[in-house]
Chain A
Amino acid sequence: GAVVSQHPSRVICKSGTSVKIECRSLDFQATTMFWYRQFPKQSLMLMATSNEGSKATYEQGVEKDKFLINHASLTLSTLTVTSAHPEDSSFYICSATGPHDTEAFFGQGTRLTVV
């Protein structure tokens, strides 16, 4: 099946620094990728929809200037958490819908800890 690779799987950074997370579709072209955040014991919350070659669409309440999304190619989307703070500590997961708009394929997730 389709494979989505995400890295890093875990990152610890200091407050005020920026962190970039990469999401790659390895064997298919993904014109659209999705970024989710999941806090402990809570559900996956869609942050934004990343569209290749155009601006991302952000969900209500998600700051686009804080969570920068770049989808420069059909196989790569990046999420940059800028000026990270401890409250940004969370599990971030990307996904892409398969080639025939079938199920979503998820990256492995990135656990971000801001200290």
Chain B
Amino acid sequence: RKEVEQDPGPFNVPEGATVAFNCTYSNSASQSFFWYRQDCRKEPKLLMSVYSSGNEDGRFTAQLNRASQYISLLIRDSKLSDSATYLCVVNGAGKSTFGDGTTLTVKP
């Protein structure tokens, strides 16, 4: 079993749709959690941190459920520019572990 598992995707949605990604992790001692966005042939960029209390930034909402060991990312009112690969990242013991990424394509 992988340490971090993401929805396989790909997700193809129309503009304006709401889309949600989930990610589970196996190490209960994991300390911090993030969502990154990666555009084709570019390095990953931090999208947002994930807290137990939930974290909202505009159209993006991230949540952490420690008991069930999963994190989620919700994107509302999808834009064409949201098309990218979204990576969940779990930190622990000074190491970052990435999910395989979920590819989102938003279509007109």
With contacts A34-B95, A101-B32 known, is A108 near B41, CB below 8 A? Answer: no
Residue of B nearest to A100 (CB): B32
Q: Give the chain A neighbours of B89 by CB distance below 8 A.
A: 103-104
Complex: A34 Cα to B96 Cα, angstroms: 8
* Cross-chain contact A106 with B44 (CB below 8 angstroms): yes
Q: Is A102 an interface residue (CB 8 A)?
A: yes
A-B pair count, CB < 8 Å, reads: 52
* Cross-chain contact A44 with B95 (CB below 8 angstroms): no
The tally of residues in A whose CB lies under 8 Å from a CB in B reads 21
Binds A, one of B16-24, B59-67, B97-105: B97-105
Which residue of A42, A49, A101, A104 is within 8 Å of B31 (Cβ)? A101
Q: Is B94 an interface residue (CB 8 A)?
A: yes
* Cross-chain contact A44 with B91 (CB below 8 angstroms): no
Complex: A95 Cα to B89 Cα, angstroms: 13
CB of B49 to closest CB in A, whole Å: 7
Residue of A nearest to B98 (CB): A44
* Cross-chain contact A43 with B95 (CB below 8 angstroms): no
Which residue of A34, A101, A103, A109 is within 8 Å of B43 (Cβ)? A109
* Cross-chain contact A49 with B95 (CB below 8 angstroms): yes
Q: Give the chain B neighbours of A32 by CB distance below 8 A.
A: 94
CB of B41 to closest CB in A, whole Å: 7
* Cross-chain contact A102 with B32 (CB below 8 angstroms): yes
Q: Give the chain A neighbours of B80 by CB distance below 8 A.
A: none
| Interface set of B (CB-CB < 8 Å, partner A) | 31-32, 34, 41-46, 49, 87, 89, 91, 94-101
Q: 10 smallest A-B Cβ distances: which pairs?
A: A43-B100, A106-B43, A109-B43, A104-B96, A44-B98, A43-B101, A103-B46, A103-B34, A93-B43, A108-B43
